[in-house]
Amino acid sequence: MAVAELSPSFTKTHLHSSQLSSLSTRLANFRRCAFRPLPRARNSLTISCSVAPNQVQAPVAAQNEVPKTKTECFGVFCLTYDLKAEEETKTWKKLINIAVSGAAGMISNHLLFKLASGEVFGPDQPIALKLLGSERSFQALEGVAMELEDSLFPLLREVSISIDPYEVFQDVEWALLIGAKPRGPGMERAGLLDINGQIFAEQGKALNAVASRNVKVIVVGNPCNTNALICLKNAPNIPAKNFHALTRLDENRAKCQLALKAGVFYDKVSNMTIWGNHSTTQVPDFLNARINGFPVKEVIRDQKWLEEEFTEKVQKRGGVLIKKWGRSSAASTSVSIVDAIRSLITPTPEGDWFSSGVYTTGNPYGIAEDIVFSMPCRSKGDGDYEFVKDVIFDDYLLERITRTEAELLAEKRCVAHLIGEGIAFCDLPEDTMLPGEM
Amino acid sequence: MAVAELSPSFTKTHLHSSQLSSLSTRLANFRRCAFRPLPRARNSLTISCSVAPNQVQAPVAAQNEVPKTKTECFGVFCLTYDLKAEEETKTWKKLINIAVSGAAGMISNHLLFKLASGEVFGPDQPIALKLLGSERSFQALEGVAMELEDSLFPLLREVSISIDPYEVFQDVEWALLIGAKPRGPGMERAGLLDINGQIFAEQGKALNAVASRNVKVIVVGNPCNTNALICLKNAPNIPAKNFHALTRLDENRAKCQLALKAGVFYDKVSNMTIWGNHSTTQVPDFLNARINGFPVKEVIRDQKWLEEEFTEKVQKRGGVLIKKWGRSSAASTSVSIVDAIRSLITPTPEGDWFSSGVYTTGNPYGIAEDIVFSMPCRSKGDGDYEFVKDVIFDDYLLERITRTEAELLAEKRCVAHLIGEGIAFCDLPEDTMLPGEM
């Protein structure tokens, strides 16, 4: 084990991946470490930690019990951290591993701090954050990890950064896939589907290889429905129903627009479904939604507004925000990711539901099978969900659902090569990407 | 009352400020509205709301009881919102008004969502957010307010945006003053003190005129100690001890660096004081700080590191982060603002304390009176604080405290014209602004 002393507070160690399993057990009980793959050598890792306990010369603490025989070992690995041994932490749940891709981006910059603060998983849930970035963003990833350090979140017990999904996804129970490439100048939508599809194919393979067998995956990077499909198709050993495409921001915006129109507070709007694709073909469903328990149409009698303006307002919200604010809506997107997670880990309120882009096979609505389509779901709070039975359809709603379904089937044909279905054939009729949400 | 219909969901009304008091009473019970002063006419306001309840044609809800006789009134003012009338909200505390300046900036973009989520003031504390921006940032302010809408925070009951501190500070119980001008090319530090000092002098006057008589003010915009002094001097009717300059990020960073050096988790570091100015003369106090209850010097026996590297690591952290991350540390700054607020509204743990830049008059440490100086404080959780008695000093600590005290006294002479003490005389010996934290 070659060791190079970098600076008084940095210890660097080169390891082979075969040594990782025993390490990971020890790490699971300990704190912030940065795993960094050496360029072009997956099996060789650089593990850098800012803690140099070999410089600790006094009894750190009676209750910490650092074995003195270990003083020749290196860095953080000399210390073990036992949550069960301390009064404040012994009633805590078992640490969970959460992977976040695109971790140096703006959405993650909000989301990571929410996860670390305990706001999402509760005040007794210790957290390990595993940040996936790119080579280009590696410095920024380090910056994010340093800011997480400086925030002193008691529940945040481990932070690692890497550009290798096979490392980052090791044993993760949640994978929040935010990173995606934006469309370059002149790039066709098919090109974007391909380039991002390849990223999500690789990430699916990595999840399949190393993640928890019951990992929950939320795909945010766009085009998120088809990215989620690609991801789940490349992870055959993980249940397909564990993959979600984020349409929660659309749901939240739809609730807000109905509340604004009706002149009620937004918490009075319930049963809001976004059907279909996270694109301009999405269908915010005002037939089934309710305001103060009443059908929307009984409260907002302006049918023309509902049919002609409401959906457009929801879809164009992101574009309007970019104009106002000069950048895309990272803060509210991260809030909606938190909402999506919470909807899976807390029981859905009686009579209500939430929307998520999920795998259609077995759905009760007659949606084409084998795509990822936003539909109404309920959860018992166990991380799983079931489809809502009591929804109604009319011709107007069905017609629009058919249109967004056709779009997703066309997107699927575009990425056939990435889901093991032969040669791609791309006939997307028009560009329906939501403005600014790439 | 002139009314111009802007769009189906926007209603615009021109009002005189004399009409505001009755309006504000009605608004206090209701929701999101945007107050916008017309350019160059303080007494004439534009109030724009996205709710157009005159378009609601059906009974909104039985339990909402919107009086039907009010259908000719305008927009949101037709509705009253009574938290006491509903099951879920009737046990909530009284709504509090929180002002945030620099509301379109990155620190606020993190902070506002934390305030709105209930993470800071708790799950039964409804919140009104009053956002102060500049003419240049007004569109961005609207964007922030829209993102807050889209986040559907149940506790967030009112959002207003304005460029006039006299409006924004009306009845606020907390004023979080984040906005400050960055130094332009070639600007001397004295110039920066003057230009920001004028902003904080105006904001102090506005607080004095319209804020709650017990408003708590946290100044984040730099140079924050002297800005806080200017602010409190211009608000003679508000207790001087209610003004704070944020040194909590320095405290958090100091705790983190001691933890890293000692190889312990950061929650083991306590009793951390930052003395003095939020500048490179700041004094992170390793004499009084403790690790696992032991004096730091008994745990970290590397005196050279403590004296020569520790303070520099704390001070330079912000600069290192800017290099890594490409921008200043907005996320961890906003976490430290939350920490600062929480330290005032929750009882300080037995035996511990926190640092805040506070008014020195009456301090027990022999610090010069009549400046704002970071010192160790304890709180009963009532929003107030007291100075910690049991701190020790040695020559090394006293010498450094004297240096940062001298700097703050020099800064005070620089802004004499802004605090009613005659003609400014600026003899700042060197530039001690923290890197990237302007």
Contacts of A268 in chain B (CB under 8 A): 61, 64
Q: Which CATH number fits domain A248-418: 3.40.50.11540, 3.90.1310.10, 3.90.110.10, 3.40.50.1700?
A: 3.90.110.10
Please say whether the dihedral angle defined by the alpha carbons of residues A81, A87, A88 and A94, taken in this order, is positive or negative. Answer: positive
Catalytic residue among B14, B16, B244, B278: B278
B278 and B318 in contact (C-beta within 8 Å)?
Answer: no
Please say whether the dihedral angle defined by the alpha carbons of residues B193, B199, B205 and B210, taken in this order, is positive or negative. Answer: negative
A118 and A341 in contact (C-beta within 8 Å)?
Answer: no
Contacts of B110 in chain A (CB under 8 A): 110, 113, 331
CA–centroid distance for B337 within its chain: 7
SS3 A413: helix
**Mean residue pLDDT across chain A:** 83
Determine the pLDDT at residue A25: 34
Contact A292 B143 (CB under 8 A): no
Contact B152 A64 (CB under 8 A): no
Name the CATH topology of B248-331+351-418.
L-2-Hydroxyisocaproate Dehydrogenase; Chain A, domain 2 (3.90.110)
- Write out the two tokens for A367: 């949606």
Largest CA distance in chain A: 77
Residue boundaries of the structural domains of chain A: 248-418
Nearest beta carbon to residue A56 from set B63, B142, B263: B263
Does residue B318 come out as left (phi exceeding 0), alpha (psi in the -120 to 50 range) or beta? Answer: alpha
E strands, A102-231, are: 127-132, 156-162, 174-177, 216-219
Q: Calculate how close chain B gets to A59, using CA atoms only, in Å.
A: 6
A141 C-beta neighbours (distance < 10 Å), count = 25
Contact B144 A325 (CB under 8 A): yes
Determine the pLDDT at residue B183: 78
Contact A302 B253 (CB under 8 A): no
Determine the pLDDT at residue B434: 76
Q: Calculate how close chain B gets to A89, using CA atoms only, in Å.
A: 11
- Write out the two tokens for A312: 């457009």
User: For A159, how many CA atoms within 13 A lie in the half-sphere containing its CB?
Assistant: 26
SS3 A411: helix
B24 C-beta neighbours (distance < 10 Å), count = 13
| Mean pLDDT lowest among A135-139, A335-339, A354-358, B344-348 | A135-139
Pairing of strands B3-7, A386-387: unpaired
Nearest beta carbon to residue A299 from set B56, B253, B321: B56
Determine the pLDDT at residue B432: 81
CA distance A283 to A20: 46
Nearest beta carbon to residue A53 from set B76, B263, B292: B263
Strand-pair partners of A101: A132, A177
Determine the pLDDT at residue A88: 85
Determine the pLDDT at residue A81: 65
Determine the pLDDT at residue A76: 29
Nearest beta carbon to residue B256 from set A149, A299, A317: A149
* Count of A-B CB contacts under 8 Å: 234
Confidence band for A292, pLDDT divided at 50, 70 and 90: very high
Written as one letter, the residue type at B8 is: P
List b or e across B48-57, with b for residues whose CB sees 16 or more CB atoms inside 10 angstroms.
Answer: bbbbbbbbbe
Listed in sequence order, the DSSP H helices in B278-426 are 296-299, 303-304, 311-325, 330-345, 395-414
Q: Calculate how close chain B gets to A324, using CA atoms only, in Å.
A: 5
B118, B122, B124, B128 alpha-carbon torsion, rounded to 10°: -50
Segment A247-273 shows an average pLDDT of 94
Determine the pLDDT at residue A26: 33
Determine the pLDDT at residue B414: 94
For residue A313, what is the nearest residue in chain B, using CA coordinates? Answer: B9
Which uninterrupted H or E stretch holds B109?
Answer: helix B106-117
Determine the pLDDT at residue A187: 80
The DSSP output letter for B241 is: G
pLDDT at residue A41 greater than cutoff 50: no
Contacts of B150 in chain A (CB under 8 A): 249, 252-253, 256, 317, 329, 332, 335-336
Rg, C-alpha atoms of chain A: 23
Segment A218-224 shows an average pLDDT of 96
Q: Which residues contact B69 (CB under 8 A, 6 or more apart)?
A: none
For residue A259, what is the nearest residue in chain B, using CA coordinates? Answer: B51
Nearest beta carbon to residue A263 from set B52, B252, B292: B52
pLDDT at residue A101 greater than cutoff 90: yes
- The angle at the Cα of A194, spanning A192 to A200, to the nearest 5 degrees, equals 100
Determine the pLDDT at residue A115: 98
Please say whether the dihedral angle defined by the alpha carbons of residues B220, B223, B228 and B233, taken in this order, is positive or negative. Answer: negative
The pTM assigned to this predicted structure is 0.85
Pick the more confident residue, B199 or A145.
B199
Contacts of B298 in chain A (CB under 8 A): 58
Q: How large a percentage of chain A has pLDDT more than 90?
A: 66
For residue B320, what is the nearest residue in chain A, using CA coordinates? Answer: A143
For residue B118, what is the nearest residue in chain A, using CA coordinates? Answer: A119
The tens place of each residue's pLDDT in chain B, 438 residues long, gives: 333 333 333 233 333 333 333 333 333 333 333 333 333 333 333 333 333 333 333 333 333 333 333 222 222 222 456 778 888 899 999 999 999 999 999 999 999 999 999 999 999 999 999 999 999 998 899 899 889 999 999 999 888 889 999 999 999 999 999 999 887 777 887 888 999 999 999 999 999 999 999 999 999 999 999 999 999 999 999 999 999 999 999 999 999 999 989 988 899 999 999 999 999 999 999 999 999 999 999 999 999 999 999 999 999 989 888 888 888 899 999 999 999 999 999 999 999 999 999 999 999 999 999 999 999 999 999 999 999 999 999 999 999 999 999 999 999 999 999 999 999 998 887 778 776 554
Strand-pair partners of A378: A386
CA distance A145 to A301: 51
Strand-pair partners of B323: none
CA distance A117 to A254: 28
pLDDT at residue A335 greater than cutoff 60: yes
Segment A40-48 shows an average pLDDT of 33
pLDDT at residue A234 greater than cutoff 90: yes
Determine the pLDDT at residue B68: 34
Q: How large a percentage of chain A has pLDDT more than 70?
A: 81
